Amino acid sequence: MTAIHPANPASKPSSPPQPAPSWHGRDLVGLQGLSRAELVSLLTASRDAAHKIEQNALDPVLRGRVVATMFFEDSTRTRSSFTVAAQRAGASVVDLSGGSSSVNKGETLIDTARNIEAMGVDAIIVRARQSGAAQIVAQAVACPIINAGDGRHEHPTQGLLDTLTIASRFGRDSTFDLSGLNVVIVGDIASSRVARSGIAALTSLGAHVTCVGPSSMAPSSLSALGCAVAHELDPLLPTAHAVMMLRIQFERADTDTPTGNKSEQVKKSVIASIREYRRFYALSAERAAKMRQGAIVLHPGPINRGIELDADVADGPRSVIMQQVTNGVAVRAAVLSLLVGGPRP
Amino acid sequence: MTAIHPANPASKPSSPPQPAPSWHGRDLVGLQGLSRAELVSLLTASRDAAHKIEQNALDPVLRGRVVATMFFEDSTRTRSSFTVAAQRAGASVVDLSGGSSSVNKGETLIDTARNIEAMGVDAIIVRARQSGAAQIVAQAVACPIINAGDGRHEHPTQGLLDTLTIASRFGRDSTFDLSGLNVVIVGDIASSRVARSGIAALTSLGAHVTCVGPSSMAPSSLSALGCAVAHELDPLLPTAHAVMMLRIQFERADTDTPTGNKSEQVKKSVIASIREYRRFYALSAERAAKMRQGAIVLHPGPINRGIELDADVADGPRSVIMQQVTNGVAVRAAVLSLLVGGPRP
Amino acid sequence: MTAIHPANPASKPSSPPQPAPSWHGRDLVGLQGLSRAELVSLLTASRDAAHKIEQNALDPVLRGRVVATMFFEDSTRTRSSFTVAAQRAGASVVDLSGGSSSVNKGETLIDTARNIEAMGVDAIIVRARQSGAAQIVAQAVACPIINAGDGRHEHPTQGLLDTLTIASRFGRDSTFDLSGLNVVIVGDIASSRVARSGIAALTSLGAHVTCVGPSSMAPSSLSALGCAVAHELDPLLPTAHAVMMLRIQFERADTDTPTGNKSEQVKKSVIASIREYRRFYALSAERAAKMRQGAIVLHPGPINRGIELDADVADGPRSVIMQQVTNGVAVRAAVLSLLVGGPRP
């Protein structure tokens, strides 16, 4: 653990304590636009849930409630994390992800959500390919909607779990003040809902966030999100407190895949792209060695070992990747409890 | 709401009150052949469940029970409705629908059901492509079987939820007497298990049911079910209290489907069929405007908007489609509780 | 029921009663290498669970616990049996089997298991194609792992349920002493994890086990497992107390399968193989008639009726196949309770 002396104390909240914002009955579509107090209330509840889960003392505040998962894009890990979180908090979970391919059109998305709501579920967890899908669903139904990732837009519980993981390592108190912290996000930021949610939460809490990648993946227009943009990773490593690696999606060059009948030309081209990417942006063991003492490495998973992140780093002492997974359940249990718990309307 | 003055008071039950029929341990394979008292007992329990669910006061009479869903034909909505219903009533649900394609042969259907029963589940909810499959399963196992749709035969919980929805709008008392009500069912009646279950319940309770469609879909032989048959929708609209639209399954003319390589000839033919069907049988906004005051529109879902039913009507004031979905959970919770609840044998 | 007079009383345990071995927090990867006392403790708990489930009196010792199923090889029946068992014991179950095809590589198997563990689940039930996969997972994570079948290696809960089923028919007391019992296992023993686990448990408890099949399926090297090996079934039938038939996997000769475009040549060859196999190794009605009074027939399911086992035998008085399924839930509930129940660490 490295104690952080805030570089900019003025960024700490100086206002008197406010009543915690109420989340009951609300949606969680994104972290952009949330007030600092709202973020702190979500993180505080998440930290509490993490402690209680660790002590097997989480209150089953969702007993008797039914939560629906509606994933129009496959993600066993995220769906499972929400499912475990809901079950730990006492809820039943019904999965409505079947036949997903036919329900990716806007109208059917709304139709499906309205049907699920009409079944009397207490909340719907939505993942979809289209940016903005969660907001569309939230406007169509009255029950709380939790965005589990919509296109390139947001993945708010991922942003919260990343922030909680960083804050748990470096944050000093219940304010979740992250001023003085340098966070570097590496990869295809432009396409990443994970980055977008993370940037929103981290910058709002005072962290200095730099997005790094080739200009196609990290265009300078990203600075509108409140972060810095860079195209070289190496100069940033010595001062970064946390490095968040994103998953890189190259067309696979494997010969043992169903698409293994690719031409040699395409295979070589993919391998060349990966080699080029690794040269500048992969967090190799060599690069990780340049990081400051106590600095940590995050990855939303699943990892492409040997592509954006070396196995030695993923499993090494700087890695907090498993802590992210554990915090994911806590964040999701806390969010569900805040939005759905308490007396039914 | 329109108060209905029964056209035929003589059809009201005049016998003294009977003890409620016992459902414990029985199957629910179909509504055809049930006595009026049996139908009323299912509907009464369903209405009670609907009220209790609304007040979050449903008794978890199925706590500790395990209910299995065995769907040999994909239907996320119906399976989810049963799942939510079972969970609301306190049961756990195990889904055994995997690998469905290989288990559509009669012998394996029975083998699978016997295996599930041997696992000690308390009830099995079956959907299958073959008409009569639910009865075959019911004869092979001792635990209660609930038919969730078998071929063109029956879909009894759908028939109950349709009847409950109509009765809730028009029924005056606990007898569920529907005499004087005109119900029109539109579409491919001959192939529809939804229609078959609906006709059984509605006619038994005194409603006058007319099936409408081209003669291929609404052959005159349907009158053996106790309903009238017609081939023109327009003359029926001014006197109908409820119009139930069925989903029409045309070969899709979309170019963005996997079967998009259809010849232009076939596409034109499908489009011509849809146009022809719509001309006579779709419930368009214009047609809906001819319905009497307070008359309602039902659809079992999922809707082909713009084909059998216009979006404006589906979402308009006559539509009780979302109420059908809500009643579906209540009906299924009630049926499961009646068949499975109470002390285990 | 046939009372068995042990042929070899010396094989009965003569040592004074030992404290029951502790299972809390352990894995169950295989039955090979377990002590007799350990096997007896698992079987005793399984028998108790079977009685309690029958009386609807199983203690929900897993209430509040979350158990994960991670099946990299499809098996609706086994997964459902574990799911029902966990639910009966009060646990919630989360299924992480989605996208299984991409996770059959060793590294991803471990990654996935570590992720699931980091979500805070209390146990992971693993099925995989690779022999040894369960052990690999068990070494990678701290929470209890239960092997639900790994390649040709082991399927310990199947071995326990087979043993419990045999012992319930023939065993005389709580020692589960099976000395004097002749068990014959018929089929592709070399490829069978079911046989491997069964042989380990049955021989350890004193039964005399003979593996029967063509030499390709029952090589003499199997004798290293402590069993006899034979290539003719008929001479063994009159003295066998229990005959365990294994499922035979021939390439299918059906014309109605997706692979129905096989050449006539291949179809004829498959049919010839099945005919040849049946001639020597199928348990036909004729063969079953040669079995001794009270002898039983087992099959792990799903049965190829008319191939390795005739329908008349599978459904006849010697068959304990449904009892195996029922005991499967009891064994799995007992194992989960032993490994996971009690205060959380």
> pTM for the whole thing?
0.89
A125 phi and psi angles, rounded to 5 deg? -100, 120
* Distance of alpha carbon C227 from alpha carbon C209, whole angstroms: 5
| pLDDT for C262 | 57
Q: Please, what is the average pLDDT of chain C?
A: 89
| pLDDT for C38 | 97
Q: Is the pLDDT of residue A165 over 80?
A: yes
Decide which of 3.40.50.1370, 2.60.40.10, 3.40.50.300, 3.40.50.150 is the CATH code for C36-155+325-340. Answer: 3.40.50.1370
| pLDDT for A67 | 97
Q: Over A125-189, what HEC string results?
A: EEEECCCCHHHHHHHHCCCCEEEEEECCCECHHHHHHHHHHHHHHHCCCCCCCCCCCEEEEECCH
Judged by a CB distance cut-off of 8 A, whether residue C68 touches chain A is: yes
What would the two tokens of residue B290 be?
Answer: 């001819």
B141: left (phi over 0), alpha (psi -120 to 50) or beta: beta
Say which CATH class C156-321 falls into: alpha beta
Whole-angstrom distance between the N-terminal and C-terminal Cα of chain A?
44
Distance between alpha carbon C67 and the CA centroid of its chain, in Å?
20
Q: Which residues in chain B are closer than 8 Å to C53, comparing Cβ atoms?
A: 120
Strand partners for A150: A128, A154
Question: If you measure CA to CA, which chain A residue comes closest to C114?
Answer: A322
Judged by a CB distance cut-off of 8 A, whether residue A129 touches chain C is: no
Question: If you measure CA to CA, which chain C residue comes closest to A94?
Answer: C94
Q: Please, what is the average pLDDT of chain A?
A: 89
Over the stretch B45-84, which tens digit does the pLDDT of each residue have? 999 999 999 998 999 999 989 999 999 887 889 999 999 9
Over the stretch A64-73, which tens digit does the pLDDT of each residue have? 899 999 998 8
Pairing outcome for strands C182-186 and C208-212: parallel
Instruction: Check CB contact under 8 Å for A326 and C64.
Output: no
Q: How many CB pairs under 8 A join B and C?
A: 50
| DSSP 8-state code for residue A242 | E
Distance between alpha carbon B132 and the CA centroid of its chain, in Å?
16
* Distance of alpha carbon A320 from alpha carbon A161, whole angstroms: 11
Q: Is A293 exposed, middle or buried (0-12, 13-18, 19+ CB in 10 A)?
A: exposed
- How many angstroms separate the CA of residue A341 from the nearest CA in chain B? 13
Interface test with C, best of B119, B121, B124, B344 (most C CBs within 10 A): B119
| pLDDT for B41 | 97
Contact A332, A157 (CB under 8 A): yes
Contact B296, B320 (CB under 8 A): yes
| pLDDT for C299 | 97
Q: Please, what is the average pLDDT of chain B?
A: 89
Judged by a CB distance cut-off of 8 A, whether residue A270 touches chain C is: no
| pLDDT for B111 | 87
Instruction: Check CB contact under 8 Å for B80 and A96.
Output: yes
Q: Is B290 exposed, middle or buried (0-12, 13-18, 19+ CB in 10 A)?
A: middle
Give which of B87, B214, B95, B217 is closest to B148, Cα–Cα.
B95
**Which has the higher per-residue pLDDT, B302 or B123?**
B123
Residues in chain C where the model's pLDDT stays below 50: 1-12, 100-105, 252-260
Instruction: Check CB contact under 8 Å for C325 and B118.
Output: yes
Q: What percent of chain A has pLDDT over 70?
A: 87
Q: Is the pLDDT of residue B273 over 90?
A: no
* Distance of alpha carbon A240 from alpha carbon A210, whole angstroms: 9
Q: Which residues in chain A are closer than 8 Å to C107, comparing Cβ atoms?
A: 305
C242 phi and psi angles, rounded to 5 deg? -140, 135
* Distance of alpha carbon C191 from alpha carbon C152, whole angstroms: 5
Over the stretch A205-228, which tens digit does the pLDDT of each residue have? 999 999 999 999 999 999 999 999
In this prediction, residue A149 has a pLDDT band, given cuts at 50, 70 and 90, of: very high
* Distance of alpha carbon B313 from alpha carbon A203, whole angstroms: 47
Nearest CB partner across the interface for A99, out of B76, B83, B84: B76
Over the stretch A237-293, which tens digit does the pLDDT of each residue have? 999 999 999 998 765 444 444 444 556 777 778 778 889 999 999 999 999 999 999
CB neighbour burial string for C246-280, b if at least 16 within 10 angstroms, e if fewer:
bbbeeebbeeeeeeeebeeeebeeeeeebeebbee
| pLDDT for C254 | 47
Q: Which residues in chain C are closer than 8 Å to A63, comparing Cβ atoms?
A: none
Over the stretch A93-148, which tens digit does the pLDDT of each residue have? 999 886 544 444 455 788 889 999 999 999 999 999 999 999 999 999 999 999 99
Nearest CB partner across the interface for B56, out of A99, A108, A344: A344
Give which of C69, C197, C78, C75 is closest to C125, Cα–Cα.
C69
What would the two tokens of residue B7 be?
Answer: 């056209």
| pLDDT for B52 | 96
* Distance of alpha carbon C30 from alpha carbon C150, whole angstroms: 10
Strand segments (E) across chain A: 66-71, 92-95, 123-128, 145-150, 182-186, 208-212, 228-230, 242-245, 296-298
Question: What count of other Cβ atoms lies within 10 Å of the Cβ of residue B12?
Answer: 12
* Distance of alpha carbon A193 from alpha carbon A155, whole angstroms: 6
Q: Which residues in chain B are closer than 8 Å to A64, comparing Cβ atoms?
A: 56, 60
| DSSP 8-state code for residue A238 | G
| pLDDT for A11 | 47
What would the two tokens of residue A273 be?
Answer: 């792209």
Continuous segment of H or E residues that includes residue C258: none
Continuous segment of H or E residues that includes residue C245: strand C242-245
Judged by a CB distance cut-off of 8 A, whether residue C272 touches chain A is: no
Judged by a CB distance cut-off of 8 A, whether residue A237 touches chain B is: no
Judged by a CB distance cut-off of 8 A, whether residue C5 touches chain A is: no
Residues 6+ positions from B2 with CB-CB distance below 8 Å: B169, B170, B241, B292, B293, B294, B295
* Distance of alpha carbon A190 from alpha carbon A193, whole angstroms: 8
Contact A206, A163 (CB under 8 A): no
* Distance of alpha carbon C105 from alpha carbon C99, whole angstroms: 13
State which of A1-5, B304-308, C310-314 shows the largest mean pLDDT.
C310-314
What residue has token string 């068992």?
Answer: C85
Residue C152: helix, strand or coil by DSSP?
A: coil
Instruction: Check CB contact under 8 Å for C121 and A76.
Output: no
C218 phi and psi angles, rounded to 5 deg? -130, 70
Q: Is the pLDDT of residue A48 over 90?
A: yes
| DSSP 8-state code for residue A247 | P
Contact A27, A156 (CB under 8 A): no
* C-alpha dihedral sign at C56, B336, C61, C340: positive
| DSSP 8-state code for residue C154 | -
Q: Over chain B, what HEC string results?
A: CCCCCCCCHHHCCCCCCCCCCCCCCCCECCCCCCCHHHHHHHHHHHHHHHHHHHCCCCCCCCCCCEEEEEECCCCHHHHHHHHHHHHHCCCEEEECCCCHHHHCCHHHHHHHHHHHHHCCCCEEEEEECCCCHHHHHHHHCCCCEEEEEECCCCCHHHHHHHHHHHHHHHCCCCCCCCCCCEEEEECCHHHCHHHHHHHHHHHHCCCEEEEECCCCCCCHHHHHHCCEEECCCHHHHHHCCEEEECCCCCCCCCCCCCCCCCCHHHHHHHHHHHHHHHHHHCECHHHHHCCCCCCEEECCCCCCECCCECHHHHCCCCECHHHHHHHHHHHHHHHHHHHHCCCCC
* C-alpha dihedral sign at B315, B320, B326, B332: negative
**Does this chain's domain C36-155+325-340 share its CATH topology with C156-321?**
yes
Q: Is the pLDDT of residue A36 over 70?
A: yes
Q: Is the pLDDT of residue B254 over 60?
A: no
Q: Is the pLDDT of residue B10 over 50?
A: no
Give residue limits of the domains in chain A.
36-155+325-340, 156-321
Over residues B228-254, the mean pLDDT reads: 88
- How many angstroms separate the CA of residue A286 from the nearest CA in chain B? 47
Over the stretch B138-153, which tens digit does the pLDDT of each residue have? 999 999 999 999 999 9
Contact A179, A11 (CB under 8 A): yes
